[in-house]
Structure 1
């Protein structure tokens, strides 16, 4: 989830790509909802925690748990918040068994398939919704492109993949989701409770600054919010008040969402005017192809080095500034697809660490632009 990631794109990353990334966690809800819970929960050692017969924590105990109250004191001190206020907010947090299930990897892995992944997002209804979004927000998209150098099509592509232009922003209380993953992270996968505790603290900081109740914020099961599915830390660091009303509102202001997405990409190395990728025919020699694939999506080779290894780039790429990456996308049992990714392709993957996600965003945005 910007950052990563946790949104709706990793539901396809989870189901079609068998990904377990937390960088953009908000994408996985639809597919992860179909998975089974894995294993039994381990009872906390904290004496203040009560447990029901089914092994899940009592939904009303967060405000009485010693570890939660220590967390409240630490957050209050670190961010100069009123400790009583922090405690009061955490007392409203509830354990959500569904969140503990949804954060788990898919029970059954499936073969990566770029064609199937693309088809979920680059399709007529989403393109039509993107066209309406562009027409309604043309002013803000143009201003964002002028200010940050990020093409309007790319911003439109990201918001379209993330939330279907606001249709799927998530219905979980973010306070509950983050508390569950902070204090009762499920066993069976790498423990990311520290990451989610940081995000819970950032939710409290953001809520206090904006004068809103943390319990009223809705988002994904992993805590991502709004049209662009920002985690709370990215709201505090990179979201912008683009419409100038004195508040950052990613849930209700398309202008703020547009400006925030553009600012996020600019902050992660976007270079104005540079294409995101070029077409390429990979080397026929297996060893040469493997050598170019070693850095994965990190741009590492010059066009000349591509040619030395037998990769055939399109003419425009031969004069490209900066390094390139040979990006491989599997198509199930069919032959893989390849592109030569630039620094800007890599910048898009900082939003969600997946080449499949990045190319879907780029192609959806291009399709919407073509429909104009």
Structure 2
């Protein structure tokens, strides 16, 4: 299982730290600013919400003078019709963010991967109680998304809870700063060139999205990797998968829980979610001492193995598996404790396309399940 940088998520930092055995406790939830109420006699416009401060000062390095940046600006002007001088003026406002570079460096060797330790970061009272509140406040949008896309409410709520604690922690990096820094000053690491190309593509999408939405690109705040809003979509995914689910004529993943809900569901469907898949997303399994099953480990994030082939290699489940479905073998390492094994369905692996991690997908399932049970107990 590898941590991919091609994610939507603010939770990637926690994931990297948790896998190294050094994860901090999750941040406490904060209450979003409410809309101002109109007075009876004379309605007043909603109060402007002060812009959040960033978590860094940033350093001016004159990105516009860098040869690679100049080539990028030339491409943006030729390919998308941007004014070259306006782009130069935009780059003059960009700041180098060393903290983003440091967070992208490979984690130092640490403790073994530990699912139980990782899951405690996300299956905890703040996220469970916040999830109950978020579900109750957005029940109509969640029901509509489930009906339209076939994605259960607990999966959508689980993702938003893991990502940003329902919008209370969406990130405080200027997306333009983070993406420019990572596109042109990525730290020395394996596949550095490919990762720089990825972030350059995200910078391109940021400029296109800002132009299309009619917003200042510097108004976009997000994670150290450039992910935006309640569901932590990368800019390219906003362009491809975000939907105007509240019907107000614009997509707003930063301030509209309804748009976030619809967009999460749309993303999962675009990445293979099937409404007609029966049964649970995962089935508990055990493996034989023969270790023939090891050939099914780390074979890609997809359900592509027939149950009979898994069983013949020593994978056993006490549950009756649905007919006609394939599965993938999921290993959740627990440090010095025994590894947990599960059979993941197609829909389980669609969640791993949101963040390419078994730990992440299982956290979404467990958090969603805990929230659903808590709502029943009320």
Q: Which residue of 2 aligns with 1:144?
A: 145
Say whether the 8 Å CA contact 1:155–1:261 is kept in structure 2. Answer: yes
CA distance in 2, matches of 1:67, 1:289: 47
CA distance in 1, matches of 2:164, 2:223: 10
Q: Which residue of 1 aligns with 2:19?
A: 17
Give runs of aligned pairs for residues 92-131 of structure 1, distance below 5 A: 92-131=93-132
SS at match of 2:283: strand
TM norm structure 2: 0.84
Deviation at residue 322 of structure 1 after TM alignment: 1.9
Q: Which residue of 2 aligns with 1:51?
A: none
Deviation at residue 188 of structure 1 after TM alignment: 3.9
CA distance in 2, matches of 1:245, 1:3: 32
CA distance in 2, matches of 1:100, 1:94: 13
1:30 and 1:196, CA in 2 relative to 1: closer, same or farther beyond 3 A? farther
Give runs of aligned pairs for residues 67-106 of structure 1, distance below 5 A: 67-106=68-107
| 1:300 partnered with 2:304 | yes
Q: Which residue of 1 aligns with 2:66?
A: 65
Residue deviations 1:70-97, cap 9 Å, x none? Answer: 2112112212333333222222111111
1:129 and 1:313, CA in 2 relative to 1: closer, same or farther beyond 3 A? same
CA distance in 2, matches of 1:148, 1:331: 34
CA distance in 2, matches of 1:121, 1:18: 16
| 1:223 partnered with 2:226 | yes
Q: Which residue, 261, 264, 289 being the options, matches 2:264? A: 261
Q: Which residue of 1 aligns with 2:31?
A: none
1:30 and 1:176, CA in 2 relative to 1: closer, same or farther beyond 3 A? farther
CA distance in 2, matches of 1:2, 1:251: 23
Q: Which residue of 2 aligns with 1:22?
A: none
Deviation at residue 195 of structure 1 after TM alignment: 0.8
Q: Which residue, 264, 278, 281 being the options, matches 1:277? A: 281
SS at match of 2:320: helix
CA distance in 1, matches of 2:234, 2:227: 4
1:293 and 1:203, CA in 2 relative to 1: closer, same or farther beyond 3 A? same
CA distance in 2, matches of 1:205, 1:230: 15
Deviation at residue 18 of structure 1 after TM alignment: 4.1
CA distance in 2, matches of 1:132, 1:320: 37
SS at match of 1:328: strand
TM norm structure 1: 0.85
Deviation at residue 329 of structure 1 after TM alignment: 0.5
Say whether the 8 Å CA contact 1:278–1:314 is kept in structure 2. Answer: no
List gaps (5 residues or longer) in structure 1.
Answer: 20-27, 32-56
Comparing 272-281 with 336-345, which one deviates more in the overlay?
A: 272-281
Q: Which residue of 2 aligns with 1:289?
A: 293
SS at match of 1:121: coil
List gaps (5 residues or longer) in structure 2.
Answer: 26-57
Say whether the 8 Å CA contact 1:137–1:255 is kept in structure 2. Answer: yes
Q: CA RMSD in A?
A: 2.3
Give runs of aligned pairs for residues 180-329 of structure 1, distance below 5 A: 180-191=181-192, 192-274=195-277, 275=279, 277-293=281-297, 295=299, 297-317=301-321, 319-329=322-332
Deviation at residue 277 of structure 1 after TM alignment: 2.9
Comparing 354-363 with 285-294, which one deviates more in the overlay?
A: 285-294
CA distance in 2, matches of 1:338, 1:105: 27
1:62 and 1:267, CA in 2 relative to 1: closer, same or farther beyond 3 A? same
Q: Which residue of 2 aligns with 1:50?
A: none
Q: Which residue of 1 aligns with 2:49?
A: none
